[in-house]
Amino acid sequence: MTGYDDGQPRMGFFTDTSVCIGCKACEVACKEWNGVPENPFAWTGESYDNTSSLGANTWRHVAFIESGGQSTASTVQSASSVQSEDEDFRWLMSSDVCKHCTTAACLDVCPTGALFKTEFETVVVQEDVCNGCGYCVPACPYGVIDRRESDGRAWKCTLCYDRLKVGEEPACAKACPTDSINFGTLEAMTAMAADRLDVVVAAGRAGAQLYGDGPSGGVDGAGSVFLLLDDPEVYGLPPDPIAGSKHLPSLWGAAAAAAVTLAGAVAAAFVGGRR
């Protein structure tokens, strides 16, 4: 990768939601290893999900999705989709995480350089450089990055950068008891995801699909690939995520052209007035 003498292959996740059992071992392991503050033991009104969403204090989030009626996916049972006999109710479980985008809008808008890409092409926040401006928060199309109330700085998954540097897999993948979370080179993870999709579709899950695979899309591909049993919207994921920062060069160019035009108009008015 540009900027590093010892280039490394791009690393990433493949999260197979079809075998997620909602145990939240990944959440616990992430908090334990990274020193992420605990979430309050409170009833959120969101099923059995006390963490609710990704944020500064939740770098891995296991979603419990209660869905009624028919879905775009088949009605075959799996470990993460349980339906009643009348098929009017089902559970979907999915462990969500930062996507480590190819075009990372959070990084592009950071004014201090607190966000950077590692030699593994993962996106990391340097907490000692972050000034808490919050520009990265609305820039993320997935709503991943967030500021911590206690210090105002931005925090998110680092893909366990400290573990990667010594050849260890991220804590969440290490702790997952069903191998729902897989870790390796992004090339290997994408290939694994494609193979697994074929198996799941052949088993009757016609609506299963991959999310984040390949270079297409508004973020030019992600470092976190998911196998979903339904459409992204069902999981609270944007179907077409866009990195708004991709348009910054053209916006700055338009702003510069407008400024030149305005300066010319002011100069012309000044000269005309003196005459």
Q: Where are the domains of the chain?
A: 11-242, 244-275
Provide the pLDDT for residue 78.
Answer: 46
Per-10-residue mean pLDDT of the chain, 275 residues long, equals 72 97 96 91 69 92 77 44 54 94 95 96 96 96 94 96 97 98 97 98 94 88 95 93 71 52 68 64
Provide the pLDDT for residue 5.
Answer: 66
Provide the pLDDT for residue 273.
Answer: 65
Provide the pLDDT for residue 190.
Answer: 97
Provide the pLDDT for residue 175.
Answer: 98
Provide the pLDDT for residue 7.
Answer: 74
As a whole number of angstroms, the distance between CA 270 and CA 272 comes to 5
Contact 102, 219 (CB under 8 A): yes
Task: Tell me the CATH number for domain 11-242.
Answer: 3.30.70.20
Contact 197, 211 (CB under 8 A): no
Q: What is the dihedral of CA 94, 124, 224, 6, to 10 degrees?
A: -150
pLDDT tens for residues 185-234? 999 999 999 999 999 999 999 899 999 998 878 899 999 999 999 999 99
The type of residue at 274 is R
3-state SS assignment for residue 252: helix
* CA angle 12–144–133, rounded 5-degree value: 120
Concatenate the DSSP letters of all residues of 145-203 into one string.
-EE-TTT--EE-----HHHHTTTPPPHHHHH-TTS-EEEEEHHHHHHHHHHHHHHHHHT
Provide the pLDDT for residue 38.
Answer: 87
Provide the pLDDT for residue 44.
Answer: 67
Provide the pLDDT for residue 251.
Answer: 45
